[in-house]
Amino acid sequence: METKKPIPENRLKRLLQCKLELRECIQNGADPKEMKRIADYYGFTFATPV
Amino acid sequence: MVSHSPLPYNVQKIDELNYVFVTKHGILYHLYFMPLVGIYPSLPNTYSFNIEREGTLPHPIDRRIAATVVDVLRRFFQNIENAMIMVCDSTDGKQHRRRNLFDRWFQYYNDGTMAAINAEAGDSEYEILLSIYFKKTNPNKQQLMKAFGDLLAQDCYDIVF
């Protein structure tokens, strides 16, 4: 699935949009590559050390 | 802290901030933290925490899910500089249910060492509930509170999808 939506300028909306796409991805079986692609698209990552 | 807690499920660590577990009903949950430093550099060590499950079918109440979430959060907050933001939005109309559920889990987890700030934004058509959680001993707590206030002031506009 390709993300078509533009990245919002509003940072909170950007976070929400990413979260909603990840939710949909997880509900549909959570393909790790797709999850990573979504997070990367919005500028997030799962793998930042604490 | 409540004693006689149900046992948490075995959690599989996918990577540093991404966990999964399977319930006795066979439902797979994902718990993941997304660092916010890229969009909110003024919020030090702050992560968006998300709980999602595969599939959409309802399932019976399972107290071990809360115990598992609490266990993961306990580990997360072992670094006292960590902070966490929960965002519940009204896209599917479950925002209050999600926050109330999480509030209950938070109360269950909180041994008096945690601080939380809750906020709401939106209008009659769309609502967003935000909360930030951190240790009271977090050395950055003043900065966290200010930056969270700035976030609310600067970004709680134009959030309707």
pLDDT digits (tens, 9 = 90+) for B17-29: 889 999 999 999 9
Mean pLDDT over each residue of chain B, to the nearest integer: 88
CA distance B85 to B46: 7
Q: What is the ipTM of this complex?
A: 0.84
pLDDT tier for residue A46 given thresholds of 50, 70 and 90: low
Interface of A with B in 7-46 (CB under 8 A): 10-20, 22-23, 26-30, 32, 39, 43-46
Place of tokens 């604490």: A50
Inspect the interface and report whether the beta carbons of B14 and A32 lie closer than 8 Å.
Answer: yes
* Closest partner CB to B54 (pick from A15, A29, A44): A29
For chains A and B, CB pairs below 8 A equal 90
- Our CA angle for B12, B15, B20, nearest 5°, is 30
What pLDDT, in 10s, does the model give residues B73-101?
Answer: 999 999 999 999 999 877 777 778 888 88
